Structure 1
Amino acid sequence: MSEPKAGATLTERLRGVVREVAKFGAVGGLGVLVNLGVFNLIRTTTDLQVGRANVIAITVAIVCNYIGFRYFTYRDRDKSGRKREMTLFLLFSLIGMVIETGILYAATYGFGFDSPLQSNIFKLFGIGVATLFRFWSYRTWVFRALPESGHTMEPAVVGATSEVSEVSEDPAPAAAPQPESREQRAPRVPAV
C-alpha cells in the first residue's frame, strides 16, 4: 500500500491505514500460527526450557514474516536498500523477541505459570505487545514509503508531526539566466 498523497482526505488516509493494518494482520496472523506451532511442538517433543523454545519459535516466525511483509504487505515500498531493510527488520524483530520472551519468562519463572495453557496465554500476550512495537517500527523505519509523484513524504515519527512538502506537478518556467556577480567571476582555486 502506498502512502496517501499530501492532499488526501482524512477518510482516504484512514482507509489506507486500515488496508495496511489488515495486510499486516494477515501476515502477522500466519506468523503467530507458525510461532505457536513451533513453540508447542518443541515443548511437547523436547526437554528445552520455555525461554529457549520461545527463541527458536520466534526465529522461525521472523523468517516467515519477513517474506510476507516484503512480498505482500509492503510490496510497493522502497526496495532500493535491501541490506539496510533486512538489518533494521532483524534489529526490530530482535527487540520484539526480547519483549515477547521477557513477558513469557517473567510469567514462567517470576510467577510460576508453567503449565502448557498458562505458557500459551502469556506467549499470546507477549506476541500482542511485541506486535504493536513491530507494526510501528516496520512501517516507520524498515519498509519506507516511496515518494508519490509530485510529492515527497517524510517518514512518520511517533510523537512528532509529519511534515509533507509538496512539489509542483507543473514546474514553473526556468528564469532567465542572471549575469554573474563580481564574486562569482573571480578565478576559482582548485581544491588540493
Structure 2
Amino acid sequence: MVGIVGLVVDAGGFNLLRFAGGEGPLHDAPLTAKIVSSALATIVSWLGHRYWTFSHGRRDTVHHEFLLFVVMCTIGTAIAVGCLWLSHYVLGLQSALSDNIAANVVGLGLGTAFRWWAYRSVVFSHTEERRAEASVSVRA
C-alpha cells in the first residue's frame, strides 16, 4: 500500500507539474518536475514505511534513519531521472506518453527495485541486526 501511495504521489505529481491545464508550471522542465515529484513521494513513503511497513525494524534515531532513507531514494530518483533524460534529450522522445514511460514505468521500476533492496537491507534493518547480535552473544 505504501508503494502504491508513493507511486500515485510521484507519477501524479510529475504529470500535474508537467501537464496540468495543458502546460503545467514545469512543462518545459521535465527533469525538475521528476525531481520535485520524487521528493514529495520520498517524504510520504518514509512516513508510511517507518510507521507501517517496517515498524518492527525502525531505528531509535529518527534523523539517522531518515538520512539513510533519503540517500537511497536519491539514488532511486537518479535512476528515474537518468531514464527520462536519455529518452527526452538523447533520443528526442518528448511526448507526454514517452516521458511517462521513461520516468514512471522504466525509471520508476528500476528505481523501485533498487529502493526495495535498500530499505530491507540498509535503512530498516536495525532491529534484525540487534537480534542477530543478541543471538550470537547468547550462544557464546
Pairwise TM-score range, normalised by the shorter structure: 0.7 to 0.9
Matched ranges for 1:48-59 at <5 A: 48-59=28-39
Q: Distance in 2 between matches of 1:69 and 1:125?
A: 23
- Residue type of the alignment partner of 1:136: W
Match of 2:91 among 99, 111, 120: 111
Give me the identity figure in percent: 32
Once the two structures are TM-superposed, the CA of residue 147 in structure 1 deviates from its matched residue by 4.4
Instruction: Return the structure number with greater helix share.
Output: 2
Once the two structures are TM-superposed, the CA of residue 83 in structure 1 deviates from its matched residue by 1.8
Larger radius of gyration: 1
Matched ranges for 1:1-192 at <5 A: 26-44=1-19, 45-46=24-25, 47-123=27-103, 124-147=105-128, 152-153=131-132, 165=136, 167-168=138-139
C-alpha contact 1:31 1:64 (8 A) present in aligned 2: yes
Displaced runs of 4 or more, over 6 A = none
Gaps of 5+ in 1: 1-25, 155-163, 172-192
Q: Distance in 2 between matches of 1:131 and 1:107?
A: 19
Q: How many aligned positions are there?
A: 133
The TM-score normalised by the length of structure 2 is 0.85
The TM-score normalised by the length of structure 1 is 0.63
Once the two structures are TM-superposed, the CA of residue 165 in structure 1 deviates from its matched residue by 3.6
Once the two structures are TM-superposed, the CA of residue 118 in structure 1 deviates from its matched residue by 1.0
Secondary structure of the corresponding residue to residue 131 of structure 2: strand
Could you report, residue by residue, the CA deviation over 1:126-173 in whole angstroms, capped at 9, with x for unpaired residues? Answer: 00000111111111111114249xx8327xxxxxxxxx84735xx9xx
Once the two structures are TM-superposed, the CA of residue 113 in structure 1 deviates from its matched residue by 1.1
**Using CA pairs below 8 Å that are at least 6 residues apart, which structure has the higher relative contact order?**
2
